[in-house]
A and B are shown apart, each in its own frame.
Chain A
Amino acid sequence: MADSKKVIQILRAIGSKIEEEKDYLTKLDQPIGDSDHGINMARGFGEVEKKLDDLADKDIGTILKTVGMTLVSTVGGASGPLYGSAFLKAGMAAAGKTEMNVQDFLEIMDTAIQAVQQRGKAVLDEKTMLDAMIPSLEAMKAEASEDAKTVLKKGVEAAWKGVEHTKDIIATKGRASYLGERSIGHQDPGATSYSYILEVISQQI
């Protein structure tokens, strides 16, 4: 499915996508958060981009761990520790690997999403990035015997469906929870940025 070189190519594409959607992600964060999700994510992935050249000959685990450390130290807010922990744990799950197949990819995603759950102490239906992450992972696992393209296509569909669903629920975690019922109707920025990331992986595979 992907070797180290491919993983680096994907990470570069994620960085470009986040930069492209920076203003949109920030705008989504305005009514229910603190108007910085796009700015913070773009800063973090901008720093990741600078490190990718030096990682070309490393294993996938090292690459993902470096991304995690970089995000932890540059993103800030709540997204920093959440995405940072996800990539750090993903890196541990991919330790030593220079190639991954669909099975490896699903295990890595599983570990990463569990890390987000642990760090954020959140579950499904709290209007967080998990509302895109968990359904997409389940959809991908259900297609695990298919080829990578098909698996990811299902994952991306489920992720965006999850994003749509965040509009209908009341936030009970994160800054949006202060708004209570007033958070209904707004789409979760974290679920959105995750869906972009998965979409980029799917396009690059």
Chain B
Amino acid sequence: MKKFINETSQVENEMIQGMVKAYPKHLKKLDCGNVVVRATKKEGKVALISGGGSGHEPAHGGFVGTGMLDAAVAGAVFTSPTPDQILEGIKAIATDAGVFMVVKNYTGDVMNFEMAAEMAEMEGISVKHVVTNDDVAVKDSLYTVGRRGVAGTLFVHKIAGALAEKGGSLDEVQAVAQKVVDNVRTMGAAIEPCTVPAAGEPGFTLEEDEMEIGIGIHGEPGTHRDNIKTADETTDILLTQILADIDYSGSEVAVMVNGSGGTPLMELFIINNHVADVLAEKGIKVYRTLVGDYMTSIEMKGFSISILKLDDEMKELLDAPADAPAWKE
């Protein structure tokens, strides 16, 4: 394993400290642990909290700021944060309007956030949540825990965050967050794995001529292995599965071409070039495009495509001003 780190046990802590030192106007770290909150608390609004394992930078700390999150909780690399840690975050940002949690659909995340919410309710804080599950690579059936929450979660942070900033109630924030979840789909692929620092070796291996289609953001296996293909061919495979999942015909969409950490922007733009062409051909209007590293998987060479079907409310909230370190207008 070759990485620019110090002690593996200090990876998460040093990363959070470095992030806060980079953006002191936006962020501050709670003394109790790896929880990032806005440098200045805003009273009276519904407070948004999200988080998950570390290794997804800039998510989630980079999306703390006006118009987006109020707090982000960072667990160990690829490991859900713990309930007491989440509870500290909830308590730090709680207002009379309540706290809203954005949770990605993983068994650990859901259990830990639910436990934290139960503890917060006992302390008199109203907490509601949404579970994101945008990954179409995973079957949503009775026999699985459902689809995984991946990069599409960023649209929930932005849109629900904008409504909360405007003064939306806890129920309204929950409703719009659920609407985003219902209308966003994502799928990814990778050509090189990532290595969790504490594990020291990659979670999986791929031959020189292989790629994994449908990969998760922790390097989990996807739908299948395939011979490596061109950017356009790979994009077609992912888009076909995304566009088959909900009816996008004639609609306006927001597109996110998300890098997994080890994919150069050059390649992400090549991918977006084809995404835009395919959508145009199908009569799907691209309202807004985001290209870059939003929800990474350490140094994995991979990418995902997210497509959010928009309505007027989501368009307005997507365009609302936001000022978080990693959100690019």
Contacts and interface: CB of A to CB of B under 8 A. Distances in A.
Contacts of A36: 76, 78-79, 196, 198-199
Contacts of A174: 107, 145
A114 to B, nearest CB: 16
Contact of A172 (B108, B144, B199): B144
A179 B137 CA distance: 11
Given A34-B220, A77-B80, A180 B144 contact: yes
A178 B216 contact: yes
B241 to A, nearest CB: 15
A109 B50 CA distance: 34
A85 B82 CA distance: 12
A73 B78 contact: no
B143 A180 contact: yes
Interface string B58-79: 0000000000000000011011
A99 B53 CA distance: 40
A34 B218 contact: yes
Interface string B111-126: 1100100000000000
Contacts of B139: 180
Nearest to B218: A34
B206 to A, nearest CB: 15
Contact of B108 (A80, A177, A180): A80
B196 to A, nearest CB: 7
A177 B80 contact: no
Interface string A73-86: 11111111110110
A34, A82, A84 — most chain B CB neighbours (10 Å): A34
Contacts of B218: 34
A40 interface: yes
Contacts of A80: 80, 82-83, 108, 112
Contact of A30 (B111, B115, B203, B216): B203
A175 B111 contact: no
B220 to A, nearest CB: 6
A18 interface: no
Nearest to B111: A81
Given A72-B84, A178-B138, A119 B111 contact: yes
B138 A40 contact: no
B10 to A, nearest CB: 14
A72 B80 CA distance: 11
A36 B218 CA distance: 12
A203 B184 CA distance: 53
A195 interface: no
B82 A75 contact: yes
Task: Assign chain A's interface to a size class.
Answer: 20 to 34
Contacts of A69: 84
A77 B108 contact: yes
A39 interface: yes
B327 interface: no
A178 B85 contact: no
A170 interface: yes
A76 B81 contact: yes
B53, B75, B143, B196 — most chain A CB neighbours (10 Å): B143
Nearest to B222: A178
A72 B144 contact: no
A205 to B, nearest CB: 31
A75 B139 CA distance: 28
Contacts of B75: 76
A81 B113 CA distance: 10
Contacts of A177: 143-145
Given A76-B81, A178-B220, A180-B144, A81 B112 contact: yes
B107 A175 contact: yes
Contacts of B56: none
A81 to B, nearest CB: 4
A78 B203 CA distance: 18
Contact of A175 (B81, B106, B142): B106
Contacts of A78: 80, 106-108, 111
B115 A76 contact: no
Contacts of A119: 111, 115
B148 interface: yes
Contact of B82 (A39, A74, A170, A179): A74
Nearest to B137: A178
A4 interface: no
Contacts of B84: 69, 72-73
Interface of A: 26, 30, 34-36, 39-40, 69, 72-82, 84-85, 119-120, 170, 172-175, 177-180, 182
Shortest 8 CB-CB contacts between residues of A and residues of B:
A78-B108, A81-B111, A76-B79, A77-B108, A177-B144, A73-B84, A78-B107, A174-B107
8 contacts: A34-B78, A34-B79, A39-B198, A40-B79, A76-B112, A172-B145, A173-B107, A175-B106
Interface of B: 53, 75-76, 78-85, 106-108, 111-112, 115, 138-139, 142-145, 148, 196, 198-199, 203, 216, 218, 220-221
